[in-house]
Amino acid sequence: MSRNYRRSRKKKATPYIIGVLILTVAAALSIRGMTLRSGDPAWAAGSRQTPSVPATPAPSVSQSPSSLIVDGIEYVRIEKPQEDVYKGNLILINKNYSYKFSDAVKLVGLYEGKSSSYKVSDTDLKIGSETLAALNRMFDAFYAQTGIGNTFIISAYRSYERQQVLYQNEVAEKGESEAAYWVAKPGTSEHHTGLAVDLGLFDSAGAYHEYDGSGKYSWINQYCYKYGFVVRYREDKKNITNIAYEPWHFRYLGIPHATQLSKLKLSLEEYIELLRSYSYDKPLKITTDDGSVYNTYFCGLQNVCVPKNGNYEISGNNVDGFIVTAKIN
């Protein structure tokens, strides 16, 4: 090979080698730059391409470590003992959810505490103190409207033992399957709660008559919700309650919930289920006949939110959580 040829080859190879070196350095710098940028949160966020999703309208909600604000109302989280789920005016008692007996129930003598507008069949009858106050208001109003004062409370609070006697007597008379349709098995009766009463009538001769809510007495069944009561076992809900129609059996829920349940014509079973669909940030709004407005909603066992400043009540549902009822107006 001649010397001139070797010189010519060196001249041609030199630019090629320099070009390769430049490309190699540029690639290295580019990779380093990408590495640095990928560690930059601002760059990373800006480089992601996500589809644009229209915003869904929602309540105005803000949150701090200890509170939440929804539409101007501040809520705080509180702890409730799990056993409290079995206490309160809204507990559901039926064949599937039995009553959990507790010494915390405040029972008072019905005979000693009643007003003069109605009577009781037994001086030993007891009832919840809040239920008694509501009964007095309701029968005072009924007497003022009709002048009738011969309505009797024939049954109120019952112990487990008393309910067992009544149930066994019914079984002996009608058989077990029919008895359960008229008398709840011990442990599954609303009368254990101190929140329920049965009505009856006695005439001037002392003869007993079954209360059916007809005639002038229909005022009680029609307007009992104004005082916090509902006719618990409606004729059109027998397939849900599994109890025969009992126009004489009244259950205390409190005015807001008695109003709403009556308005919607639901059984208590249906109403308790309905309340599960409402939360503190999307509550059920209830307006009572006197213009009072309430927010009510369901909370699970571990997450009870209540207004930080306001008038509210908490009741267990005897199933799986709590119902908060807050007066907002």
Catalytic positions: 246
**What are the residues whose beta carbons fall under 8 Å from the beta carbon of 255, sequence distance 6 or more?**
225, 226, 227, 228, 288, 292
Rounded CA separation 276/241 (Å): 19
The rounded distance, in Å, linking the Cα atoms of 320 and 240 is 19
C-alpha distances (whole Å) from 112 to each of 6, 109, 115, 132, 197 are: 127, 5, 9, 10, 16
For residue 255, how many other CB atoms are within 10 A of its CB?
21
Helix (H) or strand (E) holding 200: strand 196-202
The answer to whether residues 139 and 130 touch, using CB atoms and an 8 Å cutoff, is no
Contacts of residue 141, Cβ cutoff 8 Å, sequence gap at least 6: 223, 226, 227
> What is the helix (H) or strand (E) element at residue 187, kind and residue range?
none
List C-alpha distances in Å: 126 to 101, 123, 269. Answer: 15, 9, 26
Structure tokens at 249: 């059996």
Residue 12: CB atoms within 10 Å: 8
